[in-house]
């Protein structure tokens, strides 16, 4: 296991370095000059040159990249003050320290992501299993049809509808908002309930279909047939043998889906005005805010890579046939 | 000022579509208007010269807002995080609205309960005493004006506030005053004090004099009768010398106004809280109030989102308002048609005027420009930004909010806003240019996409061979700002920085400003016009100068036609049913935060 973790960690570092280089150099291929962010009214060449100097954009691009990457490890000094490691610099747009901003926004996104995942894993797997259990029956047909419809429901479409219906007209729920879990767990839950449900709709539909087909496939496996032939009850066979085996492809997909979930979180945050990493990423890209773009990109990439390692490690526990080596 | 929100923002800018962000000062304006809707009477009433108030007009306290009471917390929905809190970096109107609560300046705009504006002394006892035909201006500080830590605001602080605007890290704010002090029209004004006041150097007394703790004297080489207007900009608000932390001041400014930032409350992208500044003395301030206990500001609330919340007017939304968010274009009909919602709307002009620029480097035949002007469907442009309420058809380059405004319509755009295609066709034929190729650049954004269809259609009918070309919104203004751009016609917008055409025509129509990045997007260069601008700029009689600016405006439009005006920008804002004192302030292009209170 240790060798596995060590090898995957090294791979993760290489991936992150590649992502950082790709993002950084791609940024400079963009047609928009970040100096325009703070150029005021008349952006004369003199004014732009001064801002380039203030932002360090007057240096060669490879030097800027080295300064940025080394700053993550060693920290840097800026006009705004010292920036201890991990230093991602200060926002071009508003001078905020990038790392502090990311840390400040992360709880919103992780709450949204984990909550959304919990909803679609619970509901999606649950309905998928029930559909498989009741294969060919009315319940199966209803769940299968609903999953087809819901899998085409985009967040930006259903979000405003849910808001208009549940919040503004029926007033059943309050305005979605993020409250720190430690400050008020109940307000945290209620504030994110709508975003969780909206974020998870498409995933729920997809996981319903995936769980159903995976389960039906497992039920046709020889070891399952053998278990039945040995006289085990249907429930025991279903949950002890088929269910466990059906999870393997789902766990694999779940690791990949985390990236999509983060993308979904971006749209969800925008839809419900939640101040997370998604809204931060969108604004940073729009503002050509290089330090913030780099910070968010690397942080999100690191998070996804880490989660994938964890998911891979989980294989061994789910299916003993899988060997990490 | 550049079109909208930041220039940074060019892109955003035209999002202007949706909202004016640049802090501008318009002149007169629609002033008040709480009970929904607005007509032009407010602006018309304000078109007389905005007076420069004397000591009596500048004396506090401010007149009470009818029905006002103290207490409570108002929730404020804002789309954008404030990029800057350092007043010297403030130029855009959303930060300008916030600045009215936090910062005081030597002068400010006073809006009375009837919506009439006067430039009055804010920290100063009056709007300024000029001599030498406007070359020397003297200001005396009021007694008992303090910083949030209780220490007095002195002339030394004012000197420091002005000197720091020369520092290299101040790049986003206005620089009229710096240029006037350095007697230059370019960004080389920084040479006068290249490090600001931070390395022991100061502006010489021959430029800026502070003989005692109360007196500030400006010495210019040329007359600058607009100084009281310029000093009323948020960018020239006072900064406390002993608390100045240079770049870091942008995150923790010291308040001199009725509210201060609750320490640690500002979170970019999330929100901030303003609480009462107990050191602010209402008797020294004739323009601001301190009715509510707190303002709880939330960032990241889009226009459609804030519109839906405020239309719903449920729970917390009843005590909510937005300083700058407008009704989104898609909801304007809803607001207009529902009397209950309309009653909670406020509207007014913005200082921006939309135009279709004609690239004078490429279209040199005035007859062709005339044909383009007549064919242009200005109604389609306006409709794209939302009607009713998104604006008003324009006949002039200068907004109705500017002092001395006169309606003109030399090309009949108000009478035939859909375009006079027949007339355009005839002019083009007479000029022997039928079938002329015209490259029309437009921004790849929802509104330009909408109106571009109508423009292309009309121009084709008029006999042009139109080549539409969409440009990315992020770089649109950079591209059309290039002198050698390859386009013939394109849209832009511009707003006045204060209620004088001196902040409209020189930036957009002075041929000496033709360079990459300049807002003279038509690349219009008429030396005679530039000379006339110099003459008018030196006039000390504001009323006469105003007349002359509008004569020049009409002359440019009639004789040279470098652009055809499309519409004057307006905005509609909503507020919760329990919020009182909601009036539109044209100077800050939105709701005036200083008059707000909570009803019982």
Q: Omega into B61 within 30° of 0, i.e. cis?
A: yes
Of the partner residues B173, B186, B300, the one whose CB lies closest to the CB of residue A279: B300
- Max mean pLDDT among A60-69, A283-292, B84-93, B421-430 falls in B421-430
> CA triplet B584, B590, B591: central angle to 5 degrees?
55
**B534-590: pLDDT as tens digits:** 999 888 888 889 999 999 999 999 999 999 999 999 989 999 999 999 999 888 889
Q: What is the pLDDT of residue B526?
A: 96
Contact A38 B172 (CB under 8 A): yes
Domains of chain A, with CATH numbers? 2-98 (no CATH), 107-324 (1.10.3720.10)
Cα→Cα distances B12→A66, A95, A278, B321, B355, Å: 32, 19, 19, 22, 17
Structure tokens at B457: 């259609």
Q: What is the pLDDT of residue B473?
A: 78
Identify which has the larger pLDDT, B401 or B362: B362
Mean pLDDT of all residues belonging to chain A: 87
Distance CA B560, CA A251 (A): 70
> Chain A residue with minimal CA distance to B249?
A80
> Chain A residue with minimal CA distance to B266?
A96
pLDDT at residue B30 greater than cutoff 70:
no
Q: What is the pLDDT of residue B261?
A: 97
Give the residue from B503, B349, B471, B450 showing the smallest Cα distance to B20: B349
Distance CA A319, CA A249 (A): 11
Of the partner residues B169, B267, B517, the one whose CB lies closest to the CB of residue A43: B517
pLDDT at residue B13 greater than cutoff 90:
no
Distance CA B128, CA B465 (A): 56
pLDDT at residue B4 greater than cutoff 50:
no
pLDDT at residue B127 greater than cutoff 80:
yes
Burial class from Cβ neighbours inside 10 Å (0-12, 13-18, 19+) for residue A31 reads exposed
Q: B348-570 belongs to which CATH class? A: alpha beta
Residues 300-329 of B with CB under 8 A from A: 300-302, 304-305, 308-309, 311-312, 314-317
Tell me what the mean pLDDT of segment A221-244 comes to. Answer: 85
Of the partner residues A44, A104, A105, the one whose CB lies closest to the CB of residue B517: A44
Asked if B519 has any chain A CB less than 8 Å from its own CB, the reply is yes
Burial class from Cβ neighbours inside 10 Å (0-12, 13-18, 19+) for residue B443 reads buried
Contact B173 A91 (CB under 8 A): no
Structure tokens at A87: 């230093």
Structure tokens at A232: 């085990």
By DSSP bridging, strand A81-83 and strand A76-78 are antiparallel
Quote the minimal CA–CA distance from B337 to chain A in Å.
18
Q: Are B51 and B119 in contact (CB under 8 A)?
A: yes
**B170-219: pLDDT as tens digits:** 988 888 999 999 998 777 899 999 999 999 999 999 999 999 999 999 99
Buried b (16+ CB within 10 A) or exposed e, A183-193: eeeeebeebbb
Q: What is the pLDDT of residue B440?
A: 97
What letter does residue B115 receive in the DSSP assignment? S
Contact A94 B515 (CB under 8 A): no
Test the B interface: residue of A47, A95, A176, A190 with most B CBs within 10 Å: A95
Residue labelled with tokens 């010297």: B88
CA atoms within 13 A on the CB side of A87: 19
> Chain B residue with minimal CA distance to A97?
B268
Buried b (16+ CB within 10 A) or exposed e, A296-319: bbbbbbebbbebbbebbeebeeee
Distance CA A184, CA B75 (A): 20
Q: What is the pLDDT of residue B183?
A: 93
Contact B246 A275 (CB under 8 A): no
pLDDT at residue B92 greater than cutoff 60:
yes
Test the A interface: residue of B86, B178, B194, B268 with most A CBs within 10 Å: B268
Burial class from Cβ neighbours inside 10 Å (0-12, 13-18, 19+) for residue B337 reads exposed
The pLDDT confidence band at residue B24, using thresholds 50, 70 and 90, is: very low
Q: Computed from CA positions of residues B32, B37, B41, B44, in that sequence, does the dihedral angle turn out positive or negative? A: positive
Tell me what the mean pLDDT of segment B327-351 comes to. Answer: 90
Distance CA B421, CA B412 (A): 12
Asked if A44 has any chain B CB less than 8 Å from its own CB, the reply is yes
Q: What is the pLDDT of residue A210?
A: 92
pLDDT at residue B302 greater than cutoff 80:
yes
Identify which has the larger pLDDT, A161 or B600: A161
> Chain A residue with minimal CA distance to B472?
A31
* CATH code of the domain occupying B31-299+575-598: 3.40.190.10
DSSP of A86-99: S---B-TTT--BHH
Q: Is B44 helix (H, G, I), strand (E, B) or coil?
A: helix
The pLDDT confidence band at residue B148, using thresholds 50, 70 and 90, is: very high
Tell me what the mean pLDDT of segment B328-351 comes to. Answer: 90
Distance CA B453, CA B432 (A): 26
Tell me what the mean pLDDT of segment A128-149 comes to. Answer: 91
Q: What is the pLDDT of residue A321?
A: 64
Test the A interface: residue of B171, B477, B508 with most A CBs within 10 Å: B171
Q: Which residues contact B378 (CB under 8 A, 6 or more apart)?
A: B393, B394, B413, B417, B419, B564, B565, B566, B567
Q: What is the pLDDT of residue A285?
A: 87
Tell me what the mean pLDDT of segment A232-250 comes to. Answer: 84
Distance CA B160, CA B244 (A): 9
Distance CA B578, CA B521 (A): 45
pLDDT at residue B34 greater than cutoff 60:
no
Structure tokens at B425: 């066709």
Please name the helix (run of DSSP H) or strand (run of DSSP E) that holds residue B348, with its range, or none.
strand B345-358
Mean pLDDT of all residues belonging to chain B: 89
> CA triplet B472, A35, A280: central angle to 5 degrees?
70
Contact A50 B302 (CB under 8 A): no
Contact B187 A47 (CB under 8 A): yes
Tell me what the mean pLDDT of segment A248-260 comes to. Answer: 79
Say what the ipTM of the complex is: 0.80
Q: What is the pLDDT of residue A42?
A: 65
By DSSP bridging, strand B563-574 and strand B129-131 are unpaired
Using a CB-CB cut-off of 8 Å, the residues of chain A touching B317 are 175
Q: Are A274 and A112 in contact (CB under 8 A)?
A: yes
Asked if B36 has any chain A CB less than 8 Å from its own CB, the reply is no
**A37-88: pLDDT as tens digits:** 777 666 777 778 888 888 888 889 899 999 999 999 998 988 778 899 899 9
Contact B168 A93 (CB under 8 A): no
Q: What is the pLDDT of residue B14?
A: 33
Q: Which residues contact A310 (CB under 8 A, 6 or more apart)?
A: none
The pLDDT confidence band at residue B115, using thresholds 50, 70 and 90, is: confident
The pLDDT confidence band at residue B419, using thresholds 50, 70 and 90, is: very high
Asked if A54 has any chain B CB less than 8 Å from its own CB, the reply is yes
pTM for this predicted structure: 0.85
Q: Please name every residue paired with B345 in a beta bridge, in sequence order, or none if there are none.
A: B574
Asked if B198 has any chain A CB less than 8 Å from its own CB, the reply is no
Asked if B73 has any chain A CB less than 8 Å from its own CB, the reply is no
Contact B174 A41 (CB under 8 A): yes
The pLDDT confidence band at residue B451, using thresholds 50, 70 and 90, is: very high
pLDDT at residue A150 greater than cutoff 60:
yes
> Chain A residue with minimal CA distance to B515?
A44
Distance CA B440, CA B214 (A): 56
Q: Please name every residue paired with B297 in a beta bridge, in sequence order, or none if there are none.
A: B76, B272
Residues 235-264 of A with CB under 8 A from B: none
CA atoms within 13 A on the CB side of B168: 14
Using a CB-CB cut-off of 8 Å, the residues of chain B touching A40 are 6-7, 91, 171-175
Lowest mean pLDDT among A149-153, B18-22, B379-383, B511-515: B18-22
- Max mean pLDDT among A150-154, B399-403, B518-522, B554-558 falls in B554-558
pLDDT at residue B39 greater than cutoff 70:
no
Using a CB-CB cut-off of 8 Å, the residues of chain B touching A43 are 7, 517
pLDDT at residue A259 greater than cutoff 80:
no
Residue ranges per structural domain of chain B: 31-299+575-598, 348-570
The pLDDT confidence band at residue B42, using thresholds 50, 70 and 90, is: low
Q: Omega into A86 within 30° of 0, i.e. cis?
A: yes
Q: What is the pLDDT of residue B129?
A: 96
Sheet containing B271-276, strands listed edge to edge, beginning at the edge strand earlier in sequence = B259-261, B271-276, B294-298, B73-77, B320-321
> CA triplet A58, A60, A62: central angle to 5 degrees?
140
Q: Is B332 helix (H, G, I), strand (E, B) or coil?
A: helix
Structure tokens at B235: 């960018």
End-to-end, the C-alpha distance of chain B in Å comes to 40
What's the distance, CA A274 to chain centroid?
Answer: 15
Q: What is the pLDDT of residue A316?
A: 66
Q: Are B347 and B30 in contact (CB under 8 A)?
A: yes
């Amino acid at each position: 296991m240790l060798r596995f973790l060590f090898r995957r960690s090294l791979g993760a570092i290489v991936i992150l370095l590649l992502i950082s280089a790709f993002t950084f150099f791609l940024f400079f291929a963009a047609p928009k000059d970040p100096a325009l962010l703070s150029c005021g009214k008349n952006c004369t060449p003199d004014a732009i040159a001064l801002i380039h100097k203030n932002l360090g954009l007057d240096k060669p691009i490879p030097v800027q990249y080295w300064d940025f990457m080394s700053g993550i490890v060693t920290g840097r000094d800026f006009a705004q003050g010292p920036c201890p490691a991990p230093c991602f610099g200060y926002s071009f747009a508003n001078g905020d320290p990038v790392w502090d901003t990311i840390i400040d926004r992360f709880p919103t996104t992780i709450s949204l992501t984990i909550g959304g995942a919990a909803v679609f894993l619970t509901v999606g797997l649950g309905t998928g299993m029930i559909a498989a259990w009741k294969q060919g029956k009315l319940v199966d047909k209803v769940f299968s049809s609903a999953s087809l419809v819901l899998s085409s429901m985009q967040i930006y479409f259903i979000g405003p509808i849910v808001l208009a219906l549940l919040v503004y007209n029926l007033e059943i729920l309050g305005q979605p908002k993020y409250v720190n879990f430690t400050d008020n767990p109940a307000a945290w839950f209620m504030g994110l309930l709508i975003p969780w449900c909206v974020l998870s709709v498409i995933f729920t539909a997809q996981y319903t279909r995936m769980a159903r087909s995976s389960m039906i496939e497992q039920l046709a496996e020889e070891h399952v047939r053998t278990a039945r032939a040995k006289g085990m009850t249907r429930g025991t066979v279903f949950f002890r043998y088929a269910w466990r085996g059906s999870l393997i492809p789902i766990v694999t997909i779940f690791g990949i889906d985390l990236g999509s979930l983060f993308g979904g979180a971006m749209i969800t945050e925008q839809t419900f005005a939640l101040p997370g990493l998604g809204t931060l990423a969108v604004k940073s890209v729009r503002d050509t805010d290089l330090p913030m773009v780099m910070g968010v990109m690397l942080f999100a990439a690191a998070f996804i890579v880490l989660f994938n390692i964890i998911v891979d490690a989980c294989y061994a526990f789910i299916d003993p046939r899988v060997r990490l080596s | 000022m550049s079109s909208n929100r930041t220039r940074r923002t060019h892109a955003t800018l035209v999002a202007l579509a949706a909202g004016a962000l640049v802090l501008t000062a318009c002149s007169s304006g629609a002033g008040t208007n709480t009970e929904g809707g607005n007509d032009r009477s407010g602006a018309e009433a304000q078109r007389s010269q905005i007076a420069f108030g004397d000591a009596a007009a500048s004396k506090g306290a401010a007149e009470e807002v009818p029905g006002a009471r103290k207490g409570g917390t108002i929730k404020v929905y804002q789309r954008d995080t404030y990029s800057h809190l350092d007043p010297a970096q403030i130029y855009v109107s959303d930060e300008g609205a916030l600045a009215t609560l936090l910062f005081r300046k030597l002068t400010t705009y006073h809006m009375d309960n009837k919506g009439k504006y006067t430039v009055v002394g804010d920290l100063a006892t009056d709007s300024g005493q000029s001599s030498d035909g406007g070359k020397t201006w003297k200001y005396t500080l009021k007694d008992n004006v303090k910083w949030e830590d209780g220490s007095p605001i002195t002339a030394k602080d004012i000197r420091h506030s002005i000197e720091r605007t020369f520092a290299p890290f101040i790049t986003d704010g206005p620089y009229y005053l710096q240029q006037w002090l350095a007697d230059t029209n370019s960004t080389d004004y920084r040479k006068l004090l290249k490090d600001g006041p931070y390395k022991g150097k100061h502006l010489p007394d021959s430029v800026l004099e502070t003989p005692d703790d109360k007196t500030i004297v400006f010495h210019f080489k040329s007359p600058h009768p607009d100084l009281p207007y310029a000093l009323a900009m948020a960018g020239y608000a006072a900064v406390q010398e002993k608390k100045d932390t240079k770049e870091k001041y942008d995150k923790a400014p010291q308040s001199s106004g009725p509210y201060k930032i609750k320490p640690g409350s500002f979170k970019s992208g999330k929100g901030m809280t303003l609480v009462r500044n107990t050191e602010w003395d209402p008797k020294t301030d004739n323009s601001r109030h301190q009715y509510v206990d707190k303002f709880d500001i939330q960032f990241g609330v889009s226009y459609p989102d804030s519109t839906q919340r405020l239309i719903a007017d449920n729970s917390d939304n009843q005590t909510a308002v937005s300083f700058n968010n407008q009704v989104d274009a898609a909801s304007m009909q809803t607001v207009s048609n529902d009397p209950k919602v309309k009653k909670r709307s406020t509207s007014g002009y913005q200082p921006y005027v939309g135009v279709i620029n004609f690239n004078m480097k490429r279209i040199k035949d005035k007859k062709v420009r005339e044909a383009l002007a007549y064919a242009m469907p200005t109604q389609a442009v306006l409709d794209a930004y939302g009607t009713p309420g998104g604006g008003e058809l324009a006949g002039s380059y200068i907004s109705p909010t500017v002092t001395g405004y006169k309606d003109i319509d030399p090309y009949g755009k108000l009478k035939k806003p859909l375009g006079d295609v027949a007339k355009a066709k005839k002019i083009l034929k007479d000029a022997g240019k039928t079938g002329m190729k015209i490259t029309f650049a437009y921004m790849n954004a929802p509104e330009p996409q909408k109106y571009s269809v109508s423009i292309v259609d009309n121009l084709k009918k008029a006999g042009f061979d139109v080549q539409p070309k969409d440009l990315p919104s992020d770089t649109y203004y950079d591209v059309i700002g290039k002198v050698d751009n390859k386009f013939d016609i394109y849209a832009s917008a511009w707003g006045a920085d204060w209620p004088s055409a001196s902040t409209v025509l020189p930036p957009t129509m002075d041929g000496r400003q033709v360079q990459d990045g300049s807002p003279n997007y038509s690349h219009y260069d008429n030396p005679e016009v530039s000379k006339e601008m110099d003459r008018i700029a030196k006039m000390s009689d504001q009323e006469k100068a105003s007349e002359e600016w509008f004569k020049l405006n009409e002359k440019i439009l009639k004789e040279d036609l470098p652009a055809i005006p499309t519409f004057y920008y307006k905005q509609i804002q909503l507020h919760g049913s329990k919020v009182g004192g909601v009036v539109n302030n044209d100077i800050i292009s939105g709701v005036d935060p200083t008059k707000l209170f909570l009803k019982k």
